[in-house]
Amino acid sequence: MTQLNFNINMEELTEAVLNSDLDTTMKSLAVIIFNAYMEAERDEHIQAARYERSNVRSDYRNGYYEREYTMSIGNINLKVPRTRSGDFSTKLFQKYKRMDQSFVLSMAECVINGVSTRKVSNIVEELCGQSVSKSFVSNALKRIDPEIQEFQERSLVGNNYRYVYVDAMYIKAREDHKIVSKAVYIALGVNDEDKREIIGFKVSEEESYEAWRNFFQSMRRRGLKQPKMIISDAHTGLKKAIKEIFVGTSWQRCAFHFLRNITDKMPKKDSQRARKLVRRALYASSEQEARDHKATFEKEFQGNSRYEKALETLDEGFDDAIQYLGEPDSYHVSLRTTNCVERLNQEVRRREKVIRIFPNVDSAVRLIGAVLLDEHEKWSKTKATFLKEPDII
């Protein structure tokens, strides 16, 4: 993980985490961390790492036994190491009995926030009175990689996503001793129960047609069916990839971004009337209403040189920006913009900003994957739907 000058108020952190609830992801992390710690304890007792020849070895490994451990977050099943002599006994259960929840939550926050392994070691020592090496922390946190990979590459076969939102954000990472820009591609799907799912994410090169095409193809290989509509911004490479990979799928241009594209080409002063008409056109309740507002705007400002570029921009992208009007009225507010995936990007950015520069792509995938997996599981557990049921007439 990245080495940072990151200050943590341990009293505030401990109080906050002790009052928090843990979901399934955090329970899994608890198992990973505790099992890894006991493994390190056994290595120290034996005085030899696994497969290591040592003249000072004091004992030999003898498998594991399972133990159910009751924590404030519920029961978890741990694999407790054994030695051949039977002399080894973990001190973990006594050490962390009081601090189990704060310990696990602190470690989880460190993973998601990109705190350095040195700082994680300090947190463990502060909370538990026991120091651990930076290598132990680093290796323990890497054990969540399979879970992130499974989430990232899971099969989409048997699922139907009528609406898919896609967007890209940029991060910085070190690569070949240089700091380079990387694009993070995120795809969010709405299933037949009208709930959101994160159906794909990837850290790749700069945003381009080839990168978007590869991203879409990877989801198709995982079983993504033809969606009814894809909602995104108007990046040229993205549009071309959608047209090629999803033949027959309608494309909804984000009305918010399109509105901004148009108003940026208007005069700064005395343009309130024009801005209001364009907004009404793009946020209408029916196609006819949208076209009426567009016609009014064109009639009032046609021939005015100050609005020439705005008129051209509106005409060029208008039809793509009102595709949502062909869907049920109750869906309009959700389908006309990419706000839902933008908010997801903000969740990632909130954690990523403390890092600024990832040490490598793997660390970026780990952090971003942890954030997205957490959001995905929150959505799966809520009873509320993302899209409102259409009115029955």
pLDDT by residue for the chain (393 residues), tens digit each? 333 333 334 344 334 333 444 455 566 667 777 888 888 888 888 988 877 878 888 888 889 988 877 665 567 788 999 998 888 888 777 544 433 444 444 455 555 455 555 666 665 565 445 555 656 555 555 667 788 889 999 999 999 999 999 999 999 988 888 999 999 999 999 999 999 999 999 998 878 899 999 999 999 999 999 999 999 999 999 999 999 999 999 999 999 999 999 999 999 898 999 999 999 999 999 999 999 999 999 999 998 999 999 999 999 999 999 999 999 999 999 999 999 999 999 988 887 776 678 878 887 888 788 888 888 988 988 888 999 877 654
Q: How far apart are CA 333 and CA 340, in angstroms?
A: 11
For residue range 121-145, list pLDDT tens digits in order: 665 565 445 555 656 555 555 667 7
For residue range 326-363, list pLDDT tens digits in order: 999 999 999 999 999 999 999 888 877 766 788 788 87
For 175-186, the DSSP string reads: ETTEEEEEEEEE
Query: Do the beta carbons of residue 242 and residue 249 sit within 8 Å?
Result: yes
Q: How far apart are CA 283 and CA 322, in angstroms?
A: 8
* Rg of the chain taking only CA atoms, in angstroms: 26
Bridge partners of residue 181, in order along the sequence: 172
